[in-house]
């Protein structure tokens, strides 16, 4: 079983010098690293002499970045799961391709028999699913036949014949 390379644990962010590389080390940024960087930036902003709207904007931008990063991580995970599900669904389980999977010589009678048998199974399944449509045959009820015989004087356009299914 192949081993996945382990991610390097980033060093904690404690000084403004650490901010230079904090977002460059991984894509998307690690959640804890991003949170540490945001809290450091917020503490620096609070201690500075910036105006209140600027401070609030920087704090909100940091929170928005954290939220977007977490949403991005969740969406990547969902996308990977959906791709895996689609791959499993596309994997063939029946038919000619599965029957000859692993066979390397395609000109032998054995392979021809396997393919013919697989085709027969597919056509058998398809024929079971098809409905047999019966032709509608008109059946005259006894009473209607007597009425038709008795009323010879009526023209054919006055006669209505009802067709029913068996």
Query: What's the domain count of the chain?
Result: 2
pTM summary value = 0.45
pLDDT for 1 equals 44
Q: What is the pLDDT of residue 78?
A: 97
Residues 58, 118: one domain?
no
Per-chain mean pLDDT for the chain: 73
pLDDT single digits (tens) 103-128: 666 567 777 788 888 888 888 877 77
**Structural domain for 41, as ranges:** 16-90
CB distance 11 to 29 below 8 Å? no
Q: Mention every residue, 6+ apart, whose C-beta is less than 8 A from residue 37.
A: 13, 18, 19, 22, 23, 29
Residues 45, 109, single domain; the answer is no
Residue 9 lies in a domain: no
Q: Is the Cα torsion angle 15, 21, 23, 27 positive or negative in sign?
A: negative
* Among 12, 20, 62, CA closest to 41: 62
Classify residue 133: in a domain, yes or no.
no
Q: Is residue 108 situated within a structural domain?
A: yes
Q: Which of 13, 72, 105 is nearest to 114 (CA)?
A: 105
Q: Find the mean pLDDT for residues 140-144.
A: 53
pLDDT, average across residues 64-75: 90
Give 108's Cβ-side CA count (13 Å radius). Answer: 7
**CB environment 99-109: b (16+ within 10 A), e (fewer):** bbeeeeeeeee
Give the pair of three-digit tokens for residue 48: 């500075």
Kindly state whether residues 102 and 70 are assigned to the same domain. no
């Amino acid at each position: 079983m192949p081993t996945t390379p382990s991610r390097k644990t980033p060093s904690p962010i404690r000084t403004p010098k650490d901010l230079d590389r904090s977002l460059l080390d991984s894509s998307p940024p690690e959640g804890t690293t991003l949170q540490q960087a945001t809290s450091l930036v917020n503490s620096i902003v609070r201690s500075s002499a910036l105006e209140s709207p600027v401070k609030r904007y920087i704090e909100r931008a940091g929170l928005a970045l954290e939220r977007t990063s977490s949403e991005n991580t969740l969406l990547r995970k969902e996308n990977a799961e959906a791709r895996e599900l689609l791959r499993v669904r596309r994997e063939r389980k029946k038919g000619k391709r599965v029957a000859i999977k692993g066979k390397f010589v395609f000109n032998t009678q054995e392979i021809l028999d396997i393919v013919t048998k697989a085709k027969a199974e597919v056509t058998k399944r398809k024929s079971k699913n098809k409905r047999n449509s019966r032709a509608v045959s008109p059946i005259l009820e006894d009473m209607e036949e007597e009425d038709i015989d008795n009323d010879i004087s009526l023209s054919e356009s006055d006669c209505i014949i009802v067709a029913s299914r068996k």
